[in-house]
Amino acid sequence: MSALHDLSVAALAGRLKAREVSAVEVAQHFLARGGAHAGLGAFLATDPEVTLAQARAADARIAAGEAAPLLGVPVAHKDIFVTRDFPTTAGSKMLEGYRSPFDATVVRKLAEAGMVTLGKLNCDEFAMGSSNENSAYGPVKNPWDTSRIPGGSSGGSAVAVAARLAPAATGTDTGGSIRQPASFCGITGIKPTYGRASRYGMIAYASSLDQAGPMARSAEDCALLLSALCGPDPDRDSTSLDVPSEDFTRALGGSLEGLRIGVPKEFFGEGLADDVRAAIEAALQQYEKLGARRVEVSLPRTELSIPVYYIIAPAEASSNLSRFDGVKFGHRAKQYTDLLDMYRKTRAEGFGEEVKQRIMVGTYVLSHGYYDAYYLQAQKVRRMIADDFRRAFTECDVIAGPAAPTVAWKLGEHGNDPLADYLADIFTLPASLAGLPGMCLPCGFGAGGMPVGLQLIGNWFQEGRLLNAAHAFQQATDFHLQQPEGVQ
Amino acid sequence: MALTPDDIRRIQHLARLELQPHESEHMLTRINGFFAIVEAMQAVDTAGIEPLAHPVAAFQDVQLRLREDVASETDQREANQRSAPAVERGLFLVPKVIE
């Protein structure tokens, strides 16, 4: 029989429901495993008492005959979601020791579905980064090669799933923060259409882009979690859409016969590494074998998505992060002369370098005399990028391409050059700017035996179609079942 | 268009962020490196294009809701102030602002 940590979410749920194992036993197993692999740096906080209390409650619900599909299955949350029962840091010194008085909606919904929380997962500070090296609590190591980054910003989430320290995790995606680490760690993750998952209690980075989503080992597992975490939150999140959640597992199993897969030529330019190109090409051929038809499409403003995103996101971040002033929560400087000095020193001490840079850029582009030239211009080009997708989706049903131009790079390789990280976000930014659902699934291996992920982008509200396309691929291949050798 | 040390001083004041001189200098280099890639965006002809704020508005009408103006929360003052750096008699303490 497979070890508990090798089971999918669906299989674990089945064994729990059949009472072959209890939620407490499952939780204890994963807590011990997390402790044994603490060196990967995935977890920022655990609390066995809290976890086991949740597991006992799940066991009671199972004993009472409840059959919710996720009941008793463990999950771990990116430390950007606030939680009452665990500390929340957002990967920042600013929030060291912070306890939220409430749970994020996504956390609450998964708890109501009966999931048991294993702890909080490392991430880039305030979700700003592509390598997880911007965490104030140390980098996370990629289990496929611990000298490499796991990607970011949901790096801890990707590593927890890839190393089988948790069967599933939550992540957030502002410019690719679910899809890119999923690609680098060989797991599956999906970001739904902007507005389908509540942002309430997700510490805000860029409000018009931030979306929550699940990360797991298969599309089927992602479908189970996505069904539980989506849904309107009208009183808590003004941008939440009045679109009911779906049972996304019902979309799985459909034929891909005649599915038109759009391949944007701009995703296959010179910047794409040969090993990634080869794996993506093979995946597209696999889709053709499954009955899909390949169509060339164009997203002509792909490159422009980098400056557009890195203007809009910092602008919104500079406004969102103004709440960290040392008054109501978080760090306060020890020494200061007056109120203004307290603000300045508190923020200088609490924020890391990349966060400071984004606040500076954002403040500048929103300041008097520059707003039209930068922020407004970026929002206009953003509409043009969304219109490019609308046009492309008249010719295809899903769009496929790489999630990143290379496999995971070495820790420290980009040094102190944030621009290198920004440029590597090129393939995930366009769908984020357009608010489209996007996912990533493992489709092969490249240099150094590192995983390569295939990105699928769907039309607005077409999460079911994406998950079905990914599931069909995973039924025909076994890339998602491969495990990093170093983590037994 | 490159930023100058004066710009950095002005922005760090607006952002309520104290930077040491060496940090300011480093920040200036990094920010100017970034703005080099922004020029391509500024060169785009956007005449007649409406800015896009809620991305789904590119696809369908999106109404930003206002909820009813009624109290929906019970008093959570103690819980809300638990993580505050300085509190006294239910109030957040800040350095003296009025002489």
CATH 1.10.645.10 fits B1-45, yes or no: no
Q: Do B97 and A386 touch (CB under 8 A)?
A: no
Domain assignment of residue A32, given as a range: 4-257
- Residue A65's identity, in one-letter code, is G
B44 touches A: beta carbon within 8 Å: yes
List average pLDDT for each run of 10 residues in chain B, which is 99 residues long.
92 97 94 94 97 91 83 90 95 89
DSSP per-residue string spanning A52-81: HHHHHHHHHHHHTT---TTTT-EEEEETTB
Q: Give the model's pLDDT for residue B1.
A: 66
What angle do helix axes A219-229 and A105-112 make, rounded to 10 degrees? Answer: 110
Q: Are A125 and A136 in contact (CB under 8 A)?
A: yes
Q: What share of chain A is helix, strand, coil (3-state, %, to 5)?
A: 40, 15, 45
Q: Are A252 and A223 in contact (CB under 8 A)?
A: yes
B38 touches A: beta carbon within 8 Å: yes
Q: What burial class does residue A254 get, using C-beta atoms within 10 Å of its C-beta: 0-12 exposed, 13-18 middle, 19+ buried?
A: middle
Nearest to A357 among B31, B81, B86 (CB): B31
Q: Are A414 and A134 in contact (CB under 8 A)?
A: no
Lookup: tokens for A249: 């597992």
Q: What is the CATH number of the domain that holds A224?
A: 3.90.1300.10
For residue A1, pLDDT over 70 is answered with no
ipTM: 0.96
Q: Are A120 and A144 in contact (CB under 8 A)?
A: no
Q: Are A154 and A428 in contact (CB under 8 A)?
A: no
How far are the Cα atoms of A90, A177, A317 from residue A230, in angstroms, in the given order?
A: 22, 18, 24
Q: Do A373 and B85 touch (CB under 8 A)?
A: no
Find, in chain A, the residue whose alpha carbon is nearest to that of B45.
Answer: A381
Q: Which residue of the set A130, A135, A153, A183 is catalytic?
A: A153
DSSP A126: G
Lookup: tokens for B47: 């005449």
Average pLDDT of the residues in A14-41: 97
Residue A327 lies in a domain: no
Tally of structural domains, chain A? 1
Distance from CA of A146 to the nearest CA of B (A): 29
List, in sequence order, the alpha helices (H) in A294-446.
305-320, 339-350, 353-366, 377-392, 418-423, 429-434
Residue A101 lies in a domain: yes
My answer on whether omega of the bond before A153 falls inside 30° of 0, hence cis, is yes
Find, in chain B, the residue whose alpha carbon is nearest to that of A419.
Answer: B34
Distance from CA of A304 to the nearest CA of B (A): 6
Please indicate whether residue A154 is annotated as part of the active site.
no
Residues β-bridged to residue A197: A230
pLDDT tens profile A242-276: 999 999 999 999 999 999 999 999 999 999 999 99
Q: Which residue of the set A92, A177, A183, A318 is catalytic?
A: A177
Q: Are A262 and A398 in contact (CB under 8 A)?
A: yes
Please indicate whether residue A177 is annotated as part of the active site.
yes
- The string over A419-436, giving b where at least 16 C-beta atoms fall within 10 Å of a residue's C-beta and e elsewhere, is eebbbbbbbbbbbbbbbb
Strand A260-264 and strand A438-445: the pairing is unpaired
Which residues of chain A neighbour B3 with C-beta distances below 8 Å? Answer: 364
Q: Which residue has the tokens 């975490």?
A: A229
Distance from CA of A339 to the nearest CA of B (A): 5
Residue A184 lies in a domain: yes
Residue A373 lies in a domain: no
Q: Do A235 and B72 touch (CB under 8 A)?
A: yes
Residue A477 lies in a domain: no
For residue A252, the SS3 value is: coil
For residue A307, pLDDT over 80 is answered with yes
Q: Do A360 and B64 touch (CB under 8 A)?
A: no
Residue A144 lies in a domain: yes
Lookup: tokens for A62: 């199972």
Q: Are A454 and A430 in contact (CB under 8 A)?
A: no
Which residues of chain B neighbour A342 with C-beta distances below 8 Å? Answer: 94-95
For residue A476, pLDDT over 90 is answered with yes
DSSP H/E element including A444? strand A438-445
pLDDT tens profile A322-337: 999 999 999 999 999 9
Distance from CA of A329 to the nearest CA of B (A): 4
Please indicate whether residue A153 is annotated as part of the active site.
yes
Find, in chain A, the residue whose alpha carbon is nearest to that of B24.
Answer: A357
pLDDT tens profile A345-394: 999 999 999 999 999 999 999 999 999 999 999 999 999 999 999 999 99
What pTM was computed for the model?
0.97
Question: What is the percent of chain A with per-residue pLDDT over 90, rounded to a whole number?
Answer: 97
Residue of B9, B11, B16, B20 to mutate, interface with A, max A Cβ within 10 Å: B16
B85 touches A: beta carbon within 8 Å: yes
Count CB atoms within 10 A of the CB of residue A269.
11
Q: Give the model's pLDDT for residue A35.
A: 97
Residue A235 lies in a domain: yes
Find, in chain A, the residue whose alpha carbon is nearest to that of B15.
Answer: A363
Nearest to A344 among B16, B56, B59 (CB): B16
B89 touches A: beta carbon within 8 Å: no
Residue A458 lies in a domain: no
Neighbouring residues of A91: CB distance < 8 A, sequence distance ≥ 6: A44, A79, A80, A122, A123, A124, A125, A126, A127, A134, A135, A136, A137, A153
Q: Max Cα separation, chain A?
A: 70
Q: Do B44 and A377 touch (CB under 8 A)?
A: yes
Question: What is the percent of chain A with per-residue pLDDT over 70, rounded to a whole number?
Answer: 100
Residues in chain B: 99
Which residues of chain A neighbour B42 with C-beta distances below 8 Å? Answer: 373-374, 377
